[in-house]
Structure 1
Amino acid sequence: MKIKNCIYIFAFALFFTSCIPNKDLVYLQKTDKKTNDNEVKEVVAKPYRVQTNDILTINIKALDQKLVEMFNTSTVQNQSQNQNTPQNLYFTGYSVDDHGNIRIPVLGNLNVLGYTLDEIRTTIEKKLLDEYFNSEARLYVTVKLAGLRYTINGEITNPGTNVLYQDRVTIMEAIANSGDITMTGDRRKVQIIRKYPHGYETYTVDLTKDTAIDSPYFYLQPNDYIYIKPLKQKSWGTGTTGVQTISTIITALSLVTTTILLTRNL
């Protein structure tokens, strides 16, 4: 009887510890019960500052487009919107070298390291107006990142490197674009490894709490690496749902019972 009681206790303990609770699966759960569900939260994302190895797309337009053709690469001008693939942008965009410079036709080297996209646009416009054109040319300059590239790995449905053609991308959008975190993924400790001029830094975001939106790392930056850790339930191998866990326990109890009966008969 003592052996049976021990087996039952072990089975119940295994059941309650191996199942993944619902609170570990739901995103952005409300932490403050007093707040209004429709409360508007301020966006804390700061303007992105260009780093080495970034790729920029620069387009210069004017009233007379022939006057600015020499500043634009012919490949970019003739490129249709459907051809803006990561591969094409790699060869036609402006890559920021190790010294923080990009090389623009006619204008030559331009240092962009640590500048925002708007600051780069203003610098190019000023350089063109000072050296080549006047205000009557009606210059129009656009500067964008050639897509926001990120890498996601770990407990994710589709791990790998992806590119989203948006000015801003949240970590929730990146996860959704990669097929969502698996049931055995730890949503409470999502790691973001981010590159800075001085090296790499690692941050942890709890995506089960609505306070994740307030985190400065809720918005991704180019070349971010996202790692989803596995939950302990995966290493235990008892199953992720109640049905799977019960099946595992029944199998284990059957094995133990059979072993006891065979031992007694010997």
Structure 2
Amino acid sequence: MTKFFIISCLALCLAVSGCVSHKDMVYLQPSETVTDSIAKVVATQSPYRIQIYDILNIRVKALDQDAVQIFNPMGEDLLDANSDERAYFDGFTVDLHGEIRVPALGRINVLGYTTEEIEKIIEKKLLDEQFKETANIFVTVKLTGLRYTVSGEVEAPGTNTLFQDRVNIFEAIANAGEIPITGDRKDILIIRQYPEGQKIHHLDITREDVMQSPYYYIQPNDIIYVKPLPQKSWGTAETGMQTLTTIATIITLGTTTLLLIDRL
């Protein structure tokens, strides 16, 4: 009986240690430090600044649209926001020097600027060099989609492109097929590009205050890595039902073994 009790305790400890708890799977759990300050949340949402290899979509409009057609190589009627290939070939790629080359305007440095700031720079150059105020020039500059990569413990790893100005970590993961039970939601890695190189940031999406993190919104060329939980490598139970099954199997095996030993 003592041996049976020891085996049962060991089986219970093994199964419980391998079970993924409810708190490890629930998103946005309240914390004592979280506040509802909208100002604080907005303060972390700093605008994205252009980096090398970004691709910009530039559109110029005027009263005489034919006069600005050279700046719109694709033409408004041919614009297809769902075509990554067209954006790649017809967009303006930021080179290693942080510049783009615009017809009739030459090279323009855009490295470190926001899209709104680039709009003003191009508009000023057009008015200084090509047009008068009466032309009513209107310039729009956007990134040709927000491209990012998700790898690790997700249902559909790979590279995605979303045509939105802002994408948060939950939207990015949802587009990768969500995180299975064996994924670590408490330590998601964001590998982000900077002019000086790459940096790794950590996010715990089980906490409500993740929305106040400066890394809550992803940026172009981010790599999101979801680590597996130890339970996956252990090969132990992940849910309550699996835990009960594991306990029953180990106890049955242990009892059978003891009975065979006693008969010898």
TM-score clears 0.5 = yes
CA distance in 2: counterparts of 1:101 and 1:76, whole angstroms: 23
Match of 2:204 in 1: 206
Match of 1:131 in 2: 129
**Residue 178 (structure 1) shift:** 1.5
Aligned-residue sequence identity (percent) comes to 52
**Residue 177 of structure 2 is aligned with which of 174, 179, 191?**
179
Matched, 1:243 2:237: no
Match of 1:8 in 2: 8
How many residues align? The count is 262
CA distance in 2: counterparts of 1:256 and 1:158, whole angstroms: 40
CA distance in 2: counterparts of 1:191 and 1:163, whole angstroms: 19
TM-align CA RMSD: 1.8
SS in 1 for 2:238: coil
TM (normalized to structure 1)? Answer: 0.92
CA distance in 2: counterparts of 1:93 and 1:28, whole angstroms: 38
SS in 2 for 1:185: coil
SS in 2 for 1:201: strand
**Residue 11 (structure 1) shift:** 1.8
Residue identity in the other structure for 1:258? T
Match of 1:42 in 2: 41
Once the two structures are superposed, residues 77-103 of structure 1 have per-residue CA deviations (whole angstroms, 9 ceiling, x without a partner) of: 44243x532122111111111111111
**Residue 15 (structure 1) shift:** 3.0
CA distance in 2: counterparts of 1:90 and 1:97, whole angstroms: 13
**Residue 265 (structure 1) shift:** 3.7
CA distance 1:242–1:222, shift in 2 (3 Å):
same
CA distance in 2: counterparts of 1:92 and 1:84, whole angstroms: 13
Match of 2:156 in 1: 158
**Residue 16 (structure 1) shift:** 2.4
Conserved? CA contact 1:72–1:105, under 8 Å: no
CA distance in 2: counterparts of 1:58 and 1:80, whole angstroms: 11
TM (normalized to structure 2)? Answer: 0.93
SS in 2 for 1:173: helix
CA distance in 1: counterparts of 2:34 and 2:103, whole angstroms: 58
CA distance in 2: counterparts of 1:114 and 1:80, whole angstroms: 27
CA distance in 2: counterparts of 1:219 and 1:178, whole angstroms: 16
CA distance in 2: counterparts of 1:156 and 1:221, whole angstroms: 19
| Structure 2: tracts of 5 or more residues without a match | none
Conserved? CA contact 1:28–1:211, under 8 Å: yes
SS in 1 for 2:233: helix
Once the two structures are superposed, residues 35-69 of structure 1 have per-residue CA deviations (whole angstroms, 9 ceiling, x without a partner) of: 67xx6463211111100110110000101101101
CA distance in 1: counterparts of 2:75 and 2:246, whole angstroms: 59
Match of 1:148 in 2: 146
Q: Which has the higher contact order (CA 8 A, sep 6+)?
A: 2
Once the two structures are superposed, residues 130-160 of structure 1 have per-residue CA deviations (whole angstroms, 9 ceiling, x without a partner) of: 0010110001100000000110111111111
Match of 2:54 in 1: 54
Once the two structures are superposed, residues 97-133 of structure 1 have per-residue CA deviations (whole angstroms, 9 ceiling, x without a partner) of: 1111111111121111111111111000000000010
Matched, 1:259 2:257: yes
Match of 1:17 in 2: 17
SS in 2 for 1:221: coil
Residue identity in the other structure for 2:26? V
CA distance in 2: counterparts of 1:246 and 1:48, whole angstroms: 49
CA distance in 2: counterparts of 1:76 and 1:226, whole angstroms: 35
| Structure 1: tracts of 5 or more residues without a match | none
CA distance in 2: counterparts of 1:239 and 1:98, whole angstroms: 50
Matched, 1:97 2:124: no
Conserved? CA contact 1:112–1:120, under 8 Å: yes
